[in-house]
Amino acid sequence: MTVTEQQRLYVERTAAEARVNVEIETEGMTLNIGPQHPATHGTLRVLVKLDGEQVVEADVVPGYMHRGYEKLTEVRTYPQITTLVNRIDWLSSFANEVPFVLAAETLMEIEAPPRAQWIRTVLFEMGRIGTMCIFLGDMGVQLGAITPVFYGFRDREHVLNLIEAATGGRFHPNYDRIGGLKEDLPKGWIDETKAAMKRIRSFCDQLEELLLGNEIFETRTRGIGVIPPEIGLEFGVSGANIRASGVDWDLRRDEDSPLAWKECDWKVWTHPDGDAFARYWVRLQETREATKIIDQLVDGLPAGPIQAKVPRIIKVPEGEAWVHTENPLGEMGYYIVSQGWLGPFRCKIRSASFSNVSIVPWLLQGVYVPDVITILASLYFILGDIDR
């Protein structure tokens, strides 16, 4: 057999194989999950390429709700910006104000009095509870259990009522001022808070029985969407998502912040598994932990003023500051560049959900369509927090 003969046979054989492959090969189905899909919490668009029900390729297309906050901050004054940043992560609005105000305070070199810092911390944790109530119920509804989400909304109401009683706004408190707070707490607020925390703890027990302990829930979430710690850190995943992968990293404890977390006794929960179940479990524990933090803080609330001395017209001196806190969804930070004007020259907003969602295409490879929903739900993003 000559070389050319061999080559000819080889070419024929591969061509025949190629023909067979072409006949068998079926085209993947491209499915557009979103922007208007019940599982996307708003308008996230996930493009998945399916082979049967298995995901071959996935891509996340954010931006349907872009509101241009970073640009808006450049044409607003500092007091006006706190009301804007409320709307980034709308479930825990108060937690969005705090890092911004702290950054501005750092630049102005003033510090709010301790009472203000404690109340800030209490409301911050209330925002966390409010967010988690939605998450704990919503995860159920994404997996098909319709009841938990109603329990979530029912018991979040206790927290929202407290936030409204103190700040005047249920969703958008706008309570932080540079150098302190708008006004002090109304009478009777502390007792109501303690009663509400009891309700939240019983809500956690209820959900633990209803959803977390449910065998169906376990089979649906165990081993689904596992984030290995090193991959998660590379993608910039933060918050409970990374703690569920066993990374013991919590800015509330690790960062030296003027807020009052260091004053009380609490625990950072981690879970070694890194799957959807672990993320649910960690968030449930964090909700409980938040009620404990609030209980301790309102007990030892120091007396005193709530507002430091600030000039009437707030002008932040030239400089740059970066402050980040552990928000309910993860690490949230503001990088403010000031040139001494009424508003910042540039304000970079680092929001947690954007980084958390960036891991989605990596996680979705090879999973089934129902698991796409489980993974999206367990990562827990807020659309406003992704698109800003």
Partner 1 sequence: MPEIPGLVKGLGVTFRTMLKGNQTTQYPHEREEPPARARGVIALKEENCTVCMLRARECPDWCIYIEGHKEKRPPRREGGRERTISILDRFDIDYALCMYCGICVEVCPFDALFWSPEYEYSEARIGDLLHDKQKLGEWMETVPEPPPLEVGAQAKKK
Partner 2 sequence: MTFAVVLHLAYWQLTIIKLLVVLSVVPLGALVLGYVFLMKVMAHMQSRLGPMDSGGLASRPGLRENPFLPHGWFQLIGDFVKFVQKEDIFPALADRWVFALAPAVVIMSTFLLFVVVPAGPHLIAQNLDVGIFFALAVSSLSVLGVLMAGWASANKYSLMGALRAAGQLIAYELPMVLGIMGVVVQAGTMSLQGIVLAQAHGSIFGFGRLGEPFVITQFFGFLLFLAAAQAELIQTPFDMPLAESELVAGYLTEYSGLRYLLFYMAETASAFAFAAIAATLFLGGWYLPGIGPSRQLADVIGPFVLGAKIMLVAFLIYWIRFTYPRLREDQLQTFAWKYLIPLSLVNILVTGILKVVF
Interface with partner 2 includes 202 (CB under 8 A)?
no
Rounded Cα distance between 380 and 376, Å, is 7
According to DSSP, residue 318 is labeled S
Judged by the rule CB under 8 A, the positions of this chain that interact with partner 1 are 76-77, 79-80, 83-84, 86, 115, 147, 151, 154, 157, 161, 164-170, 172, 174, 182-190, 206, 209-218, 301-306
329 to each of 241, 283, 310, 379, how far by Cα in Å?
Answer: 8, 10, 31, 9
Q: Which of residues 1-30 bind partner 2 (CB under 8 A)?
A: 29
Among 220, 243, 252, 271, binds partner 2 (CB under 8 A): 220
d(C-alpha 239, C-alpha 214), whole Å: 25
Query: Minimum distance between the CB of residue 185 and partner 1, rounded to whole angstroms?
Result: 4
Q: Which of 6, 7, 14, 219 binds partner 2 (CB under 8 A)?
A: 219
Return the one option of partner 1, partner 2, none that residue 226 interacts with (CB less than 5 to 8 A, by type): none
Residue closer to partner 2, measured from CB, 142 or 338: 142
Instruction: Say if CB 144 and CB 166 are below 8 A apart.
Output: no
The item of partner 2, partner 1, none sharing an interface with residue 39, based on CB under 5 to 8 Å by kind, is partner 2
Q: Does 65 bind partner 2 (CB under 8 A)?
A: no
Site string for partner 2, 27-56 (x = CB under 8 A): --x-x-----xxx-------------x---
The answer to whether 119 and 165 have CB atoms below 8 angstroms apart is no
By C-beta, is 16 or 29 nearer to partner 2? 29
Overall size of the chain counted in residues: 388
Phi and psi at residue 159, to the nearest 5°: -70, -45
**Which residues is 30 bridged to in the sheet?**
49
Report whether 377 contacts 41 (CB < 8 A).
Answer: no
Asked if 366 is part of the footprint of partner 2 (rule: CB under 8 A), the reply reads no
Residues in binding contact with partner 2, number by CB under 8 A: 31
Q: Alpha-carbon distance 276 to 349, whole Å? A: 27
Give me 148's structure tokens: 């938990």
Q: What is the DSSP string of 142-154?
A: HTT--HHHHHHHH
Q: Which does 188 bind (CB under 5 to 8 A by kind): partner 2, partner 1, none?
A: partner 1
Closest CA to 243 of 268, 212, 208: 268
Residue 171 contacts partner 2 per CB under 8 A: no
Per CB under 8 A, residues contacting partner 2 are: 29, 31, 37-39, 53, 140-147, 150-151, 154, 210-211, 214, 216-217, 219-220, 368-373, 377
